[in-house]
């Protein structure tokens, strides 16, 4: 990994829940020594990618990140085109819906729509989605670039007792997803959340991201699973169309087959 890559990778540790990070904390999170981390932060600060809070002395994202984000959305308007499909998905399922995008080897959160139907609902509060533990990450492993599996295997962090933490367990989970066309995380990232996702494609014809529904596990019945899958297909088609792509015929075939066997992924629990 080059010095530039290592410096830019520090930006991925900032999130809405962790908007400011001190030097020592960032060293622990990134698993790097203090001298190297400080040098990278100085370079990022000069470029405007991070800035220091003058009061706390902690680091936060800088104005250059906002400028790049605005330019990205203006030139590749993906977020805006997800709003209506996500709203419809939330309305029809009654659960939280969200979209993630694949950038390099990471799945980043792009948009979220919370359902007002339930007082208790899934809260999406992460920016980078673990490939081996989330529905969207597993969807990427099943339908994205082959090199993603090596990335996932390099960090099989255990989040719950259901997380795939061995190569064979992860391989079996991904193989099952390839049989249905739907990513599925059965309490593997959070013990109280069940997730289902469908792949998204762009104008290149390649996997570009995933649209997902996160449900409180106690509400996740076979009937709700079937409803979620039905409307995930619609949302995936709509978003993929908005991104200039089309759903591959073999994915459409997997969906059709999966909906005639609603419990196809039960064996992955």
Q: For position 76, what pLDDT does the model report?
A: 64
Same domain assignment for residues 190 and 89? yes
Distances (CA, A) of 251 to 19, 97, 128, 194, 214: 38, 21, 25, 22, 21
> How many CB atoms sit inside 10 A of residue 256's CB?
11
In the sheet where 183-186 sits, what is the strand order?
128-129, 106-113, 96-103, 207-216, 193-201, 183-186
**Which of 24, 50, 68 marks a domain boundary?**
68
48 and 130 together in one domain: no
Q: 170: Cβ–Cβ under 8 A, 6 or more apart, which residues?
A: 132, 141, 149, 152, 153, 156, 164
Answer yes or no: do 202 and 109 share one domain.
Answer: yes
135, two tokens: 């529905």
- Same domain for 88 and 201, yes or no, is yes
Instruction: Indicate if 52 and 146 belong to the same structural domain.
Output: no
Is residue 100 within 8 A of residue 110, CB to CB? The reply is: yes
Q: Give the per-residue pLDDT at 51.
A: 94
Residue of 63, 126, 64 whose CA lies nearest to 100 = 126
Give yes or no: residues 80 and 53 share one domain: no
pLDDT tens track of the chain, all 269 residues? 678 888 988 998 888 778 899 999 999 988 999 999 999 999 999 999 999 999 999 999 999 988 887 787 677 678 889 999 999 999 999 999 999 999 989 999 999 999 878 767 778 888 899 999 999 999 999 999 999 999 999 999 999 999 999 999 999 999 999 999 999 999 999 999 999 999 999 989 999 999 999 999 999 999 999 999 999 999 999 999 999 899 999 999 999 998 886 444 443 33
**What is residue 261's predicted lDDT score, i.e. its pLDDT?**
65
Residue ending a domain, among 16, 46, 68, is 68
- Do 166 and 246 belong to one domain? yes
- What integer pLDDT is reported at residue 175 of this predicted model? 96
CATH number at residue 27: 1.10.10.10
What is residue 74's predicted lDDT score, i.e. its pLDDT? 73
Query: What angle in degrees, to the nearest 10, is found between the helix axes of 34-46 and 23-30?
Result: 110
CATH code assigned at 182: 3.30.450.40
The verdict on 80 and 107 lying in the same domain is yes
Number of domains in the chain: 2
45 and 80 belong to one structural domain: no
Closest CA to 209 of 110, 134, 123, 93: 110
Same domain? For 131 and 48 the reply is no
Residues 134 and 26 in one domain: no
DSSP output for the chain: --HHHHHHHGGGG--STT-EE-HHHHHHHHT--HHHHHHHHHHHHHTTSEEE-TTT--EEE-HHHHHHHHHHHHHS-TTGGGHHHHHHHHHHHSSEEEEEEEETTEEEEEEEE--SS-SS------SEE-TTTSHHHHHHHHHS-TTHHHHHHT-----STTS--SHHHHHHHHHHHHTTS-EEEESSSSTTEEEEEEEEE-TTSSEEEEEEEEEEGGG--HHHHHHHHHHHHHHHHHHHHHTT----HHHHHHHHHHTTSTTTTGGG-
Which residue, 68, 88, 117, sits at the end of a domain? Answer: 68
Residue span of the structural domain in which 180 resides: 76-268
The count of other CB atoms within 10 Å of the CB of residue 69 is 12
- 140, 264: one domain: yes
């Amino acid at each position: 990994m080059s010095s530039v890559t290592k410096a830019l990778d520090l930006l991925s540790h900032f999130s809405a829940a962790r908007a400011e990070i001190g030097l020592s904390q960032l060293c622990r999170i990134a698993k790097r020594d203090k001298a190297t981390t400080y040098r990278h932060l100085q370079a990022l600060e000069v470029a405007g990618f991070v800035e220091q809070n003058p009061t706390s002395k902690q680091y936060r994202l800088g104005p250059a990140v906002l400028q790049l984000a605005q330019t990205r959305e203006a030139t590749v308007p993906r977020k805006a085109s997800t709003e209506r499909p996500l709203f419809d998905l939330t309305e029809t399922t009654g659960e939280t819906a969200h979209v993630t995008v694949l950038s390099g080897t990471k799945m980043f959160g792009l948009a979220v729509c919370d359902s007002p139907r339930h007082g208790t609902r899934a809260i999406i509060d992460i920016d980078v989605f673990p490939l081996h533990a989330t529905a969207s990450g597993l969807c990427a492993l099943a339908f994205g670039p082959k090199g993603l599996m090596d990335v996932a295997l390099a960090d099989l962090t255990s989040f719950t007792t259901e997380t795939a933490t061995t190569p064979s367990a992860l391989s079996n989970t991904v193989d099952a997803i390839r049989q249905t066309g739907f990513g599925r995380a059965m309490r593997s990232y959070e013990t109280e959340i069940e997730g289902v996702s469908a792949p998204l494609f762009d104008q290149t014809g390649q996997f570009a991201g995933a649209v997902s529904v996160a449900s409180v596990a106690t509400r996740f019945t076979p009937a709700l699973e079937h409803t979620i899958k039905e409307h995930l297909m619609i949302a995936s088609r709509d978003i993929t169309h908005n991104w200039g792509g089309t759903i591959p015929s073999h994915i459409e075939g997997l969906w059709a087959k999966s909906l005639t066997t609603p419990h196809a992924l039960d064996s992955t629990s």
